[in-house]
Amino acid sequence: MDSTPGAWRAADDFLTEILVGRDPALEAALAAQREAGMPEIEVAPVAGKLLNLLVRMCGARRVLEIGTLGGYSTIWMARGVGAEGRVVTIEAEAAHAEVARRSIDAAGVGERVDIRVGRGADVLPTLAGGFDLIFIDADKESNTVYLDWAAKLGRPGTVVVVDNIGRDGEIVDADTSDSKVIGTREGLRMLGDDPRFDATALQTVGVKGWDGFALALVV
Ligand code: DHB
Ligand code: MG
Protein backbone atom coordinates (compact mmCIF):
# COMPACT_ATOMS: atom_id res chain seq x y z
CA MET A 1 0.00 0.00 0.00
CA ASP A 2 1.17 3.51 -0.71
CA SER A 3 1.06 5.84 2.25
CA THR A 4 -1.59 8.25 1.03
CA PRO A 5 -4.30 10.17 2.85
CA GLY A 6 -6.87 7.77 1.35
CA ALA A 7 -5.02 4.74 2.69
CA TRP A 8 -4.66 6.39 6.13
CA ARG A 9 -8.41 6.99 6.15
CA ALA A 10 -9.24 3.42 5.09
CA ALA A 11 -7.03 1.96 7.82
CA ASP A 12 -8.48 4.37 10.40
CA ASP A 13 -12.04 3.42 9.35
CA PHE A 14 -11.08 -0.24 9.81
CA LEU A 15 -9.68 0.40 13.30
CA THR A 16 -12.77 2.41 14.18
CA GLU A 17 -15.07 -0.36 13.00
CA ILE A 18 -13.37 -3.10 15.01
CA LEU A 19 -12.31 -1.14 18.14
CA VAL A 20 -14.84 1.66 18.53
CA GLY A 21 -17.98 0.49 16.75
CA ARG A 22 -21.22 2.35 16.19
CA ASP A 23 -22.25 4.81 18.88
CA PRO A 24 -25.62 6.52 18.39
CA ALA A 25 -25.05 9.27 20.99
CA LEU A 26 -21.71 10.27 19.52
CA GLU A 27 -23.02 10.06 15.96
CA ALA A 28 -25.95 12.29 16.99
CA ALA A 29 -23.50 14.81 18.46
CA LEU A 30 -21.63 14.93 15.16
CA ALA A 31 -24.87 15.28 13.19
CA ALA A 32 -25.95 18.19 15.42
CA GLN A 33 -22.55 19.84 14.97
CA ARG A 34 -22.75 19.50 11.19
CA GLU A 35 -26.36 20.74 11.10
CA ALA A 36 -25.32 23.82 13.06
CA GLY A 37 -22.65 24.56 10.45
CA MET A 38 -19.84 24.20 12.96
CA PRO A 39 -16.34 23.17 11.85
CA GLU A 40 -16.00 19.39 11.59
CA ILE A 41 -12.69 19.26 13.43
CA GLU A 42 -13.55 17.03 16.37
CA VAL A 43 -11.07 14.32 17.32
CA ALA A 44 -11.20 11.09 15.32
CA PRO A 45 -13.24 8.23 16.83
CA VAL A 46 -10.10 6.28 17.76
CA ALA A 47 -8.74 9.40 19.43
CA GLY A 48 -11.97 9.99 21.33
CA LYS A 49 -11.70 6.47 22.63
CA LEU A 50 -8.04 7.09 23.50
CA LEU A 51 -9.15 10.06 25.64
CA ASN A 52 -11.75 7.87 27.32
CA LEU A 53 -9.18 5.17 28.04
CA LEU A 54 -6.61 7.69 29.34
CA VAL A 55 -9.19 9.11 31.73
CA ARG A 56 -9.94 5.59 33.01
CA MET A 57 -6.27 4.50 33.09
CA CYS A 58 -5.47 7.54 35.25
CA GLY A 59 -8.54 7.05 37.39
CA ALA A 60 -9.29 10.70 36.61
CA ARG A 61 -12.32 12.12 38.39
CA ARG A 62 -11.82 15.79 37.54
CA VAL A 63 -11.16 16.55 33.88
CA LEU A 64 -10.64 19.94 32.24
CA GLU A 65 -11.17 20.43 28.51
CA ILE A 66 -10.22 23.62 26.69
CA GLY A 67 -12.23 23.73 23.45
CA THR A 68 -15.65 22.03 23.65
CA LEU A 69 -16.75 22.47 20.02
CA GLY A 70 -19.84 20.21 19.69
CA GLY A 71 -19.09 18.09 22.76
CA TYR A 72 -17.80 15.00 20.96
CA SER A 73 -14.58 14.61 22.96
CA THR A 74 -16.42 15.90 26.03
CA ILE A 75 -18.85 12.97 25.88
CA TRP A 76 -15.98 10.49 25.50
CA MET A 77 -14.24 11.86 28.59
CA ALA A 78 -17.45 12.32 30.62
CA ARG A 79 -18.16 8.63 30.13
CA GLY A 80 -14.70 7.88 31.51
CA VAL A 81 -14.91 9.87 34.75
CA GLY A 82 -17.79 7.80 36.14
CA ALA A 83 -21.00 8.92 37.81
CA GLU A 84 -19.21 10.91 40.54
CA GLY A 85 -16.70 12.47 38.14
CA ARG A 86 -16.85 15.90 36.55
CA VAL A 87 -15.69 17.46 33.29
CA VAL A 88 -15.28 21.22 33.11
CA THR A 89 -15.14 22.27 29.46
CA ILE A 90 -14.46 25.75 28.12
CA GLU A 91 -15.97 27.02 24.86
CA ALA A 92 -15.43 30.50 23.45
CA GLU A 93 -18.43 30.41 21.07
CA ALA A 94 -21.80 30.60 22.86
CA ALA A 95 -23.60 29.02 19.88
CA HIS A 96 -21.21 26.06 19.91
CA ALA A 97 -21.72 25.65 23.66
CA GLU A 98 -25.50 25.46 23.15
CA VAL A 99 -25.16 22.68 20.58
CA ALA A 100 -22.70 20.87 22.86
CA ARG A 101 -25.04 21.24 25.87
CA ARG A 102 -27.89 19.54 24.01
CA SER A 103 -25.69 16.71 22.69
CA ILE A 104 -24.03 16.08 26.06
CA ASP A 105 -27.41 15.99 27.81
CA ALA A 106 -28.84 13.70 25.12
CA ALA A 107 -25.86 11.36 25.62
CA GLY A 108 -26.90 10.96 29.26
CA VAL A 109 -23.81 12.53 30.84
CA GLY A 110 -25.14 16.06 31.32
CA GLU A 111 -24.90 15.89 35.12
CA ARG A 112 -21.17 15.34 34.86
CA VAL A 113 -20.38 18.23 32.50
CA ASP A 114 -19.99 21.90 33.38
CA ILE A 115 -19.67 24.03 30.21
CA ARG A 116 -18.07 27.45 30.79
CA VAL A 117 -18.65 29.90 27.97
CA GLY A 118 -15.86 32.36 27.34
CA ARG A 119 -12.33 32.63 26.09
CA GLY A 120 -9.89 30.32 27.82
CA ALA A 121 -7.73 33.20 28.97
CA ASP A 122 -10.76 34.69 30.77
CA VAL A 123 -12.31 31.50 32.14
CA LEU A 124 -9.18 29.65 33.29
CA PRO A 125 -8.31 32.15 36.07
CA THR A 126 -11.80 31.58 37.58
CA LEU A 127 -11.40 27.79 37.99
CA ALA A 128 -10.40 25.90 41.10
CA GLY A 129 -7.45 23.58 40.53
CA GLY A 130 -6.91 19.90 41.22
CA PHE A 131 -7.65 18.51 37.75
CA ASP A 132 -6.45 14.96 37.10
CA LEU A 133 -6.41 15.22 33.31
CA ILE A 134 -6.45 18.27 31.04
CA PHE A 135 -7.19 18.18 27.31
CA ILE A 136 -6.10 21.22 25.29
CA ASP A 137 -7.87 21.47 21.92
CA ALA A 138 -8.73 25.12 21.26
CA ASP A 139 -7.11 28.04 19.40
CA LYS A 140 -3.55 26.92 18.77
CA GLU A 141 -2.21 30.47 19.11
CA SER A 142 -2.92 30.25 22.87
CA ASN A 143 -1.32 26.86 23.55
CA THR A 144 1.42 28.31 25.77
CA VAL A 145 -1.20 30.20 27.80
CA TYR A 146 -3.24 27.01 28.17
CA LEU A 147 -0.19 24.98 29.17
CA ASP A 148 0.73 27.54 31.81
CA TRP A 149 -2.78 27.21 33.25
CA ALA A 150 -2.61 23.42 32.98
CA ALA A 151 0.47 23.45 35.20
CA LYS A 152 -1.28 25.77 37.69
CA LEU A 153 -4.60 23.92 37.71
CA GLY A 154 -3.01 20.48 37.78
CA ARG A 155 -0.84 18.82 40.42
CA PRO A 156 2.17 16.54 40.20
CA GLY A 157 0.81 13.55 38.29
CA THR A 158 -1.76 15.41 36.23
CA VAL A 159 -1.87 14.21 32.63
CA VAL A 160 -2.00 16.86 29.91
CA VAL A 161 -2.98 16.02 26.33
CA VAL A 162 -2.56 18.55 23.52
CA ASP A 163 -4.33 17.94 20.21
CA ASN A 164 -3.03 18.81 16.74
CA ILE A 165 0.71 18.87 17.25
CA GLY A 166 1.53 17.47 13.80
CA ARG A 167 -0.25 19.87 11.47
CA ASP A 168 0.81 18.12 8.25
CA GLY A 169 4.44 18.28 9.27
CA GLU A 170 4.45 22.06 9.13
CA ILE A 171 5.80 22.33 12.68
CA VAL A 172 9.33 22.06 11.24
CA ASP A 173 8.78 24.91 8.75
CA ALA A 174 10.84 27.73 10.24
CA ASP A 175 9.46 30.20 7.67
CA THR A 176 5.79 29.51 8.27
CA SER A 177 3.48 32.48 8.73
CA ASP A 178 0.62 30.24 9.91
CA SER A 179 -0.21 31.45 13.41
CA LYS A 180 -1.68 28.04 14.32
CA VAL A 181 1.57 26.31 13.41
CA ILE A 182 3.61 28.90 15.30
CA GLY A 183 1.39 28.54 18.38
CA THR A 184 1.61 24.77 18.21
CA ARG A 185 5.40 24.87 17.94
CA GLU A 186 5.69 27.31 20.85
CA GLY A 187 3.58 24.94 22.94
CA LEU A 188 5.84 22.02 22.06
CA ARG A 189 8.95 24.05 22.93
CA MET A 190 7.36 24.92 26.26
CA LEU A 191 6.68 21.24 26.96
CA GLY A 192 10.35 20.55 26.24
CA ASP A 193 11.78 23.47 28.23
CA ASP A 194 9.43 24.14 31.13
CA PRO A 195 10.51 22.16 34.20
CA ARG A 196 6.88 21.77 35.29
CA PHE A 197 6.35 19.21 32.49
CA ASP A 198 7.79 15.94 31.27
CA ALA A 199 6.43 15.32 27.79
CA THR A 200 6.50 13.49 24.51
CA ALA A 201 4.51 13.64 21.30
CA LEU A 202 3.17 11.13 18.81
CA GLN A 203 2.37 11.83 15.19
CA THR A 204 -0.77 10.23 13.78
CA VAL A 205 -2.24 9.58 10.34
CA GLY A 206 -5.88 8.75 9.81
CA VAL A 207 -9.23 10.36 9.10
CA LYS A 208 -7.81 13.74 10.13
CA GLY A 209 -4.80 13.46 7.84
CA TRP A 210 -1.30 13.84 9.28
CA ASP A 211 -1.41 15.25 12.80
CA GLY A 212 -0.72 14.08 16.35
CA PHE A 213 -0.90 14.54 20.10
CA ALA A 214 1.46 15.70 22.80
CA LEU A 215 1.26 13.85 26.12
CA ALA A 216 2.68 15.46 29.22
CA LEU A 217 2.91 14.79 32.91
CA VAL A 218 2.91 17.64 35.41
CA VAL A 219 5.94 16.89 37.59
C1 DHB B 1 -7.96 22.70 13.72
C2 DHB B 1 -8.22 22.62 15.06
C3 DHB B 1 -8.38 21.40 15.67
O4 DHB B 1 -8.59 21.29 16.99
C5 DHB B 1 -8.27 20.23 14.93
O6 DHB B 1 -8.38 19.06 15.61
C7 DHB B 1 -8.00 20.29 13.58
C8 DHB B 1 -7.84 21.53 12.97
C9 DHB B 1 -7.77 24.02 13.10
O10 DHB B 1 -8.10 25.02 13.73
O11 DHB B 1 -7.27 24.08 11.99
MG1 MG C 1 -8.21 19.35 17.68
pLDDT at 111: 98
pLDDT at 70: 98
pLDDT at 42: 98
pLDDT at 62: 98
* Spacing, Cα 18 to ligand 2 middle (Å): 23
Beta strands in the chain, from DSSP E residues, in sequence order: 62-66, 86-91, 113-117, 133-136, 159-163, 197-206, 209-218
Tens-digit pLDDT profile for residues 117-145: 999 999 999 999 999 999 999 999 999 99
pLDDT at 23: 97
Q: Identify the sign of the CA torsion 85, 71, 117, 122.
A: positive
Q: Tell the residue nearest (CA) to atom 8 of ligand 1.
A: 41
CATH number for the segment(s) 5-218: 3.40.50.150
164 lines ligand 1 (CB under 6 A): yes
Residues in the chain where the model's pLDDT stays below 70? none
**What's the length of the chain?**
219
42 lines ligand 1 (CB under 6 A): no
State the DSSP string of 84-111. Answer: T-EEEEEES-HHHHHHHHHHHHHTT-GG
The ranges assigned to domains in the chain are 5-218
pLDDT at 216: 99
Q: 0.85 exceeded by the pTM?
A: yes
